[in-house]
Structures are given as C-alpha cells and as structure tokens.
Amino acid sequence: MRASPLCRRGRAPGGTETSAPGTPRQPTAGGDTAGTHHPRRRRTMGNITTSDGVTIHYEEQGTGPPLVLIHGWGFSGRFFTRNLDALAEHARVITVDLRGHGDSGKPRHGYRVSRLAKDLFELLEELDLREVTVLGWSLGCPVIWSYLELFGSHRLARAVYVEQAPRQYYAPDWPHAHATCYDEPSLAALQTQLTCDPPAFDEDQIGTIFAGEPTPQEKELLLAEMAKSPAYARNALMADHTRHDWRDLLPTIRLPSLVLVARQDQVFPWQGPAWVGEALPGARTVFFEHSGHGLFFDEPEKFHRTVTGFLTDSRDDTEVLV
C-alpha cells in the first residue's frame, strides 16, 4: 500500500522503525501482561503522524482479524495489560494511545471527540486495516460513535462498547448521569482538582474504576501511564466529551454491536451503559455482575470469552438483555 498523504509513518520509541503495511514486523518489545495463563506473545509498536502533525502511538500483537482497543479518558493502551495475550490468541490486537495520552503526542490543540475519531480514521488508513472490530472503553465509545457519524462504517466490521452512557450530564429526561461530572459546576470542580494535584487525582481514579485491587506492580504501571497525560489535555478533552449527547445517533447505527455493562460501576449507574444496548439495533448486551468501570480488568476471563465469541459471531457465553 502507498503511504497516505495525510499521515506518515514514524519511529517507535527508542528508534525502532515501523514497517510498511503488509510487510513482516520485527518485534520491538515484549508485552507487559498480568492475570492471564497464556504464553507471552511478542508485541510490536509504532507511530503514525496525523494530518495535523500529531504523533499517535500504537502497539500490536497476534494474528488474525484486526481488533483495535481504544482506552478511556486519562488512561492509555496499557490499561488492557491483563487482556492482550488472551485476545491475541484469536486476533491481531492493536492498542492505540489517544492524543494527549500514553506515548502519543501532547499538542495544545485537537482535544475534541471528533478529532480523536479522525485520528482513528487515519490510523486505520495508514495500517490498511480492513474488517476491523473496534472496542471502545468509556471515552473510547464516543470516539467510535463520532467515527460512525463522520465516516460511516468505513473499514469497520463490528463494534464493542464498554461502560459508557450516551450522555454524561443530568437532564430531566436523563437521570443516569456521570457520578462526579454531571453538570457545568461539577466539570469545573473536576478540572480544578486535576490541575491542582494530578497525582492525588490519579490515585483517586485508580481507586474508583476497579472493583478489585490491582497488584502493586499493576498499580505502579497504571499510575505511570496516567502521569503521561497532562492536565491541560485532559481538561480540554473532558470539556468537549462531557457535553455530548449521543442518544439521537445510536438508533441509526447498523454496525453489529456488543455492549458490556458493569453492575458495580462507581462512574456511571449501570442503567446508562445498558441504555446503549437497548438503543442500538440488534445489539447484544452482556452484564458483568462483579465488575467496576474497568470490567475487562475485574473479570478478564469472562471479558475474553465474550469478546472472542463476538469476533467469531458466536452467542456462547453471553447473556443477552431483552
């Protein structure tokens, strides 16, 4: 494939050059995995440069149909550390760091959901990925919804939505608001807390998003990843993200969809993410009874069974909400 005129290949951290689409890749790093019983698989990494000049970092492992994982606000692709080896048994798994997060660029511009959707579009184009299953967690879900609104199902085959309501703010017709960012004053309070003391903010987030406890090594890794995302980037992105209302779009989506809902989430009442499954035509909804917002971390084996079953269009091991 000829390189896209909109975005360019880069070098991975440490000077490892990424290869052209369709050519063999040499492994550049081993995976950081935990909580799985699968043999460690080689992981490769690379960067693209977007049409507005921002480096977007990605990592991949495994072979098979492409599965792109999109993390939530303030996090990075490494939050899927418990899942990569198991998923890579069935798919070519690609994690992406959103702009302003992880090892991607930290510009002073572009912190809008629509721009993140454009970044995703350019990544799929540059890697020449086709028939992609795209999985969004939290903020990753609106990135997919914006992509579908702007570009249709171009290059996509399926979508998985993990723990995101269609609307963050409270409204008379929407009682399932975000627990701590539900109107303009609470948004301002969140931004102030993050700006004044990022480490304390991040520590609180880690204590909120999981129902169980990460190991000390996992917690150290996850906090280090969060520290890579500057407050200015997170504040600007949350200001855009939290004002969207996707309820009108969801019934128009025809992409095969899987919706994963955590009963123990402290970020959203479970009814908000479950509403997504009700609104998407033909969607399957699976409940995770013992999980918090990061359900893939709390119940990884059930998560793996459910997602890989969806990849192969199997209805085994799923619980469908009617």
Q: What percent of the chain has pLDDT over 70?
A: 84
Q: What's the residue count for the chain?
A: 322
- Unique residue bearing structure tokens 């930290």: 106
Q: CB under 8 Å to 69, separation ≥6 — which residues?
A: 77, 80, 83, 93, 94, 95, 96, 135, 137, 140
Distance CA 75, CA 89 (A): 24
Q: Is 14 helix (H, G, I), strand (E, B) or coil?
A: coil
DSSP one-letter string for 135-185:
EEETTHHHHHHHHHHHHTTTTEEEEEEES--SB-S-BTTB----SS--SHH
- Give backbone dihedrals phi and psi of 247, rounded to 5 degrees, phi first: -65, -30
Q: Where are the domains of the chain?
A: 8-15+26-311
Structure confidence by residue, pLDDT tens digits, 260-279: 999 999 999 999 999 999 99
Per-residue tens of pLDDT for the chain, all 322 residues: 333 333 444 434 333 333 333 333 333 344 444 444 444 568 899 999 999 999 999 999 999 999 999 999 999 999 999 999 999 999 999 999 999 999 999 999 999 999 999 999 999 999 999 999 999 999 999 999 999 999 999 999 999 999 999 999 999 999 999 999 999 999 999 999 999 999 999 999 999 999 999 999 999 999 999 999 999 999 999 999 999 999 999 999 999 999 999 999 999 999 999 999 999 999 999 999 999 999 999 999 999 999 999 998 744 333 433 2
Q: Which two tokens stand for residue 217?
A: 């090594």
pLDDT of residue 59: 98
Residue (of 155, 108, 163) closest to 277 by Cα position: 163
pLDDT of residue 42: 83
This prediction's pTM: 0.86
Query: Domain 8-15+26-311 - what CATH class?
Result: alpha beta
pLDDT of residue 260: 99
User: Measured on CA atoms in the order 176, 201, 216, 80, is the torsion positive or negative?
Assistant: positive
- Give backbone dihedrals phi and psi of 134, rounded to 5 degrees, phi first: -110, 130
Q: Which two tokens stand for residue 28?
A: 């550049």
Query: In Å, how far from its chain's centre is CA 99?
Result: 12
In b/e form, how buried is each residue of 242-271, taking b as 16+ CB within 10 angstroms?
bebebbebbeebebbbbbbbbebbebbbbe
Q: CB under 8 Å to 292, separation ≥6 — which residues?
A: 208, 209, 210, 211, 212, 262, 264, 265, 266, 267, 298
Do 162 and 295 touch, CB atoms closer than 8 A?
yes
